[in-house]
Chains A and B, each alone.
Chain A
Amino acid sequence: MAEGVRICVAVVEDYPSNADGLVLGFIGAGFTVLATVTSPDQLDGVQPDVVVSDLHLGQVPIRETVSALVRRGLRVLAISGPATGEEILDAIDAGAQGFADKLEKTSTICAAAAEVAAGGCWIGPKLAGHLLTDAQVRPLRRGDLGPAELSVLRAIALGDTTQEIAERLGADPTGIRAIYARILDTERRRRGLLQPTPRQSEVLILIGRRGMTQRRAAAQMGITEATLAEHLQNIKDIYLRTHPEAQADITPTHAARLLAEERGLR
């Protein structure tokens, strides 16, 4: 944080004690907290340097939360406790500039917010792990992460700071920050691959989350059971391709259940 310049932050968090903890942490670190709200639409007229937003705001889909903030021209640092990898990466895809785990020290979350407020990105160990995994299961044909980006991600996953990474790689911290931005851009291109279609997402919710039988789900969707079975088979294919360690004989219904849980579909 630059000397004498107070960073303005807004907190989007629907759990009061979490919000209080964050606000106290930011104030203690010299931030100006402009607003503490429970949903993005309460930020009308507020222009913070960075919004620190929880990923789970009631039943609102994560992409919707982050997109709503990004549409307002805000820079977003996503935070969460028990978010799944897919949820975190969805937040990045929706435009979040970084992710910090709520379990991280307050000083780390403040550093992340400052970094994002200054126009940079923040990749914590947890996000680094998910980015490395996603690079394995959804490889891009062109322009994927190179050795430098992978080294940086591994270093972050091991707990290295930007300064430590720069020292280890003999690079300038500014260069490392540019690598962070490249990594997140690459991930956003990657997120288009092997994603369930809207119709498949509907199947995931009905069968994977609500536990409907195929017959009931087909009736609810107004499709034949044969079409539903095709959707399930495609869902299983997506699951197997994005989870190479899974057993090939997993049932389509079970794959749908796991994928729905992993994607936080409700």
Chain B
Amino acid sequence: MGWERWAVAGETGIRESGADGMVLRTEDRASRMLVFVRVGTSFFVYLPLFVWGSLPRPWIAVCVAVAASCEAALFAVWVQGTRTLRDRRLVTVDVLFCLALMLVGTRAAAPHMRNVVATELIPTALAGAAIVGFAFTFGVVQVMAVAALMAGWVLALLPDVSLKLFSDLLGFVVWYVVSALSMREFRALALITDQAQEAAQRGAVEAEAARQREQVHGEIHGHLLPIVEFLIAGEPITERFIRDARRAARRARRLIADPRAASPGTEFGRDFTTLLNETIDTCADRLVLETILVITVEPPPDLVEPLCMAVGEALRNVIRHAGARCQVNLYVESTAEQGQITVRDRGPGFDPSAVASGGGFASTFTALRRHGADWLVDSAPGRGTAVTITWPPPGRRPAPVAVGDGHG
């Protein structure tokens, strides 16, 4: 019967699930706890040195104390590497060491005085029984290992036998049983937690898949399919149809090209990009619009809405003054170095000095200045128009201006 049987001897079937996160973490914690126990109990072995004069072979006590410290250090390093007590070589070494400790260590004292030294050795020996219990819980091999420790203890004390011997032997049994029971409970709890986490994870994956299915279904059913069916029916293509088709294509492309756009309402919430896309959507179907977004840093929160409103206003101006078929480029750069939005059309352009100030253009853009942004209109008859909005990058932002005037 090999040591491998120890692992399957438990009734929880945990070995098959040993790779699970919480079970592994529990193993790791338990092993670290036992390192504390092993290191802590090793100090008791130094106590016989305080009765140096009454020991016939004190050098044995010295050797045993040093060996106990070395074994504790080895145990700690070993466990740090394996992060589990379920290592049959580790537990075998520990049990053999405990046996050697008992049989050799007690020989430092005279035969009738062995109980005096043994009292200092027993915490270390009992920790050996606990390690067997924590490592592999219940099983025949485990019981045999504890029985070997108990037998070793009897041999170590002979001929100094008293009622205390039975108390010590009971101690081995109790430490082993309590450790094994505790570890079995810990592992069972960890397994249940693992299963619950997996169920939750599976649920989240399924919910996300369902949400995405629903979203794709909505896009196909509500936007793309009417376009395709309209074409199949051979209906005459109207300006309205082109606008709808453009909007549907834009939505579909965003759904495919930007995974985050397909995850509204997740941790990204309604960020600048989302709001900006919503703004663009309101005008994009009436323009030949190319949008380039370079957004790695969110603009200041109080600027997000004014910026989006200004973009909407600029696009509506293009529709109003340059015509629906006008080529428009919208470039947005919001990075750690620069905040800039440019709406540029290749329409007829105008003379900015000839335009009277006021109207929605002025009020919308004036709001930007209140939030630390600035704007500039560059246009000339026949050269198109470029509206550029800039704002300072994070860290270089001046205090908001209380009241300000726009440029136009």
- A, B co-complexed: yes
**Could you tell me which A residues sit within 8 Å of B by CB distance?**
81-85, 103, 125-126, 128-129, 132-133, 136-137, 154, 157-159, 211-215, 218, 224-226, 229, 243-247, 249-250, 253-254, 257-258, 261-262
Q: Is B33 engaged at the interface, CB distance under 8 Å to the other chain?
A: no
Q: Given A82-B257, A158-B344, A224-B19, answer yes or no on A213-B298 (Cβ-Cβ < 8 Å).
A: no
Cβ-defined contact, B268 with A125, below 8 A: no
Cβ distance B26 to chain A, nearest Cβ, rounded Å: 12
In addition to A132-B294, A245-B273, 8 A-B residue pairs with Cβ atoms within 8 Å of each other are A82-B252, A84-B259, A125-B290, A125-B292, A129-B331, A136-B335, A215-B20, A261-B259
Which among A159, A212, A247 is the interface contact of B267 at CB below 8 angstroms? A247
Cβ-defined contact, A214 with B24, below 8 A: no
Max chain B Cβ within 10 angstroms of own Cβ: one of A84, A132, A226, A245: A245
Give Cα A247–Cα B298 distance, bound, in whole angstroms.
Answer: 11
**Could you tell me which B residues sit within 8 Å of A by CB distance?**
19-21, 24, 198, 201-202, 204-206, 208-209, 249, 252-253, 256-260, 262-263, 266-268, 271, 273, 290, 292-298, 327, 329, 331, 333, 335-337, 342, 344, 346, 386
Query: Which residues from chain B contact A218 at a C-beta distance below 8 Å?
Result: 19
Query: Which residues from chain A contact B327 at a C-beta distance below 8 Å?
Result: 159
Cβ-defined contact, B296 with A159, below 8 A: no
Q: Which residue of A lies closest to B200 (CB)?
A: A213
Give Cα A261–Cα B21 distance, bound, in whole angstroms.
Answer: 26
Give Cα A84–Cα B262 distance, bound, in whole angstroms.
Answer: 13
Max chain A Cβ within 10 angstroms of own Cβ: one of B294, B298, B346: B294
**12 residue pairs bridging A and B, Cβ less than 8 Å apart:** A84-B257, A126-B292, A128-B292, A132-B294, A136-B335, A158-B342, A159-B344, A211-B206, A218-B19, A245-B298, A246-B267, A253-B205
Give Cα A84–Cα B201 distance, bound, in whole angstroms.
Answer: 27
Cβ distance A36 to chain B, nearest Cβ, rounded Å: 24
Which among B19, B21, B267, B346 is the interface contact of A250 at CB below 8 angstroms? B267
Cβ-defined contact, B333 with A226, below 8 A: no
Which among A103, A154, A244, A253 is the interface contact of B333 at CB below 8 angstroms? A154
Query: Which residues from chain B contact A244 at a C-beta distance below 8 Å?
Result: 296-297, 336
Cβ-defined contact, B259 with A262, below 8 A: yes
Give Cα A84–Cα B254 distance, bound, in whole angstroms.
Answer: 9
Query: Which residues from chain A contact B267 at a C-beta distance below 8 Å?
Result: 246-247, 249-250, 254
Q: Which residue of A lies closest to B298 (CB)?
A: A245
Cβ distance A266 to chain B, nearest Cβ, rounded Å: 13
Cβ-defined contact, A225 with B20, below 8 A: yes
Cβ-defined contact, A245 with B294, below 8 A: no
Cβ-defined contact, A82 with B259, below 8 A: no
Which among B21, B268, B342 is the interface contact of A246 at CB below 8 angstroms? B268
Which among B198, B209, B252, B260 is the interface contact of A214 at CB below 8 angstroms? B198
The secondary structure that dominates the B interface is: mixed
Give Cα A83–Cα B257 distance, bound, in whole angstroms.
Answer: 6
Query: Which residues from chain B contact A211 at a C-beta distance below 8 Å?
Result: 205-206, 208-209
Give Cα A250–Cα B259 distance, bound, in whole angstroms.
Answer: 14
Give Cα A168–Cα B262 distance, bound, in whole angstroms.
Answer: 38
Give Cα A85–Cα B267 distance, bound, in whole angstroms.
Answer: 21
Which among A136, A229, A249 is the interface contact of B21 at CB below 8 angstroms? A229
Give Cα A258–Cα B331 distance, bound, in whole angstroms.
Answer: 24
Query: Which residues from chain A contact B337 at a C-beta distance below 8 Å?
Result: 136
Cβ-defined contact, B296 with A136, below 8 A: yes
Query: Which residues from chain B contact A133 at a C-beta distance below 8 Å?
Result: 294-296
Give Cα A82–Cα B216 distance, bound, in whole angstroms.
Answer: 15
Q: Given A126-B292, A158-B344, answer yes or no on A224-B331 (Cβ-Cβ < 8 Å).
A: no
Cβ distance B209 to chain A, nearest Cβ, rounded Å: 6
Query: Which residues from chain A contact B263 at a C-beta distance below 8 Å?
Result: 258
Cβ-defined contact, B298 with A136, below 8 A: no
Give Cα A83–Cα B290 distance, bound, in whole angstroms.
Answer: 15
Q: Given A129-B294, A245-B298, answer yes or no on A215-B24 (Cβ-Cβ < 8 Å).
A: no
Give Cα A158–Cα B342 distance, bound, in whole angstroms.
Answer: 8
Cβ-defined contact, B298 with A82, below 8 A: no
Query: Which residues from chain B contact A246 at a C-beta distance below 8 Å?
Result: 267-268
Query: Which residues from chain B contact A82 at a C-beta distance below 8 Å?
Result: 252-253, 256-257
Cβ-defined contact, B292 with A129, below 8 A: yes
Cβ-defined contact, A84 with B258, below 8 A: yes
Cβ-defined contact, A245 with B344, below 8 A: no
Give Cα A247–Cα B271 distance, bound, in whole angstroms.
Answer: 11
Max chain A Cβ within 10 angstroms of own Cβ: one of B292, B293, B294, B342: B292
Q: Which residue of A lies closest to B83 (CB)?
A: A226
Q: Which residue of B lies closest to A81 (CB)?
A: B253
Give Cα A244–Cα B271 distance, bound, in whole angstroms.
Answer: 13
Cβ-defined contact, A157 with B331, below 8 A: yes
Cβ distance A47 to chain B, nearest Cβ, rounded Å: 33
Cβ-defined contact, A158 with B329, below 8 A: yes
Give Cα A83–Cα B259 distance, bound, in whole angstroms.
Answer: 11
Cβ-defined contact, A213 with B294, below 8 A: no
Give Cα A262–Cα B294 distance, bound, in whole angstroms.
Answer: 16
Give Cα A135–Cα B290 distance, bound, in whole angstroms.
Answer: 21
Cβ distance A177 to chain B, nearest Cβ, rounded Å: 21
Query: Which residues from chain B contact A229 at a C-beta distance below 8 Å?
Result: 21
Cβ-defined contact, B344 with A226, below 8 A: no
Give Cα A244–Cα B296 distance, bound, in whole angstroms.
Answer: 6
Query: Which residues from chain A contact B262 at a C-beta distance below 8 Å?
Result: 261
